[in-house]
Amino acid sequence: MDAVRSALQPITHNLPAPIRDLGVSIIGDKCYKALLLDIDVENTECLKYAISKGLGIGIVGASSIVKVPQIVKLLKSKSASGVSFLAYLLETSSYLISLAYNVRNGFPFSTYGETAMVLAQNVVITVLVLHYSGKASMAALFVAALAASAVTLFSEQTLGMKELGWLQVGAGGLGVASKIPQIAAIWSQGGTGQLSAYTVFNYLLGSLTRIFTTLQEVDDKVILYGFVAGFALNLVLALQMVYYWNAPSAKVTGKRKEALPANSPLTPSYAEVAASSTARPRSKGPTTRRRG
**What is residue 289's predicted lDDT score, i.e. its pLDDT?**
47
209 CB contacts (<8 Å, ≥6 apart)?
A: 55, 56, 58, 59
**What is residue 186's predicted lDDT score, i.e. its pLDDT?**
83
pLDDT tens-digit series, residues 157-183: 889 988 998 998 888 788 778 788 888
114 CB contacts (<8 Å, ≥6 apart)?
A: 59, 60, 62, 63, 66, 206
3-state secondary structure 75-141: HHHCCCCCCCHHHHHHHHHHHHHHHHHHHHHCCCHHHCHHHHHHHHHHHHHHHHHHHHCCCHHHHHH
**What is residue 1's predicted lDDT score, i.e. its pLDDT?**
67
**What is residue 278's predicted lDDT score, i.e. its pLDDT?**
47
**Nearest in space to 9 (alpha carbons), one of 43, 35, 48:** 35
**What is residue 150's predicted lDDT score, i.e. its pLDDT?**
94
Q: Which residues of the chain have pLDDT under 70?
A: 1, 247-292
Q: Decide if 57 contacts 50 (C-beta within 8 A).
A: no
**What is residue 274's predicted lDDT score, i.e. its pLDDT?**
46
> What distance in Å separates the CA atoms of residue 200 and residue 213, rounded to the nearest whole number?
20
> What distance in Å separates the CA atoms of residue 182 and residue 184, rounded to the nearest whole number?
5
- pTM of the entire structure? 0.65
> What distance in Å separates the CA atoms of residue 267 and residue 215, rounded to the nearest whole number?
62
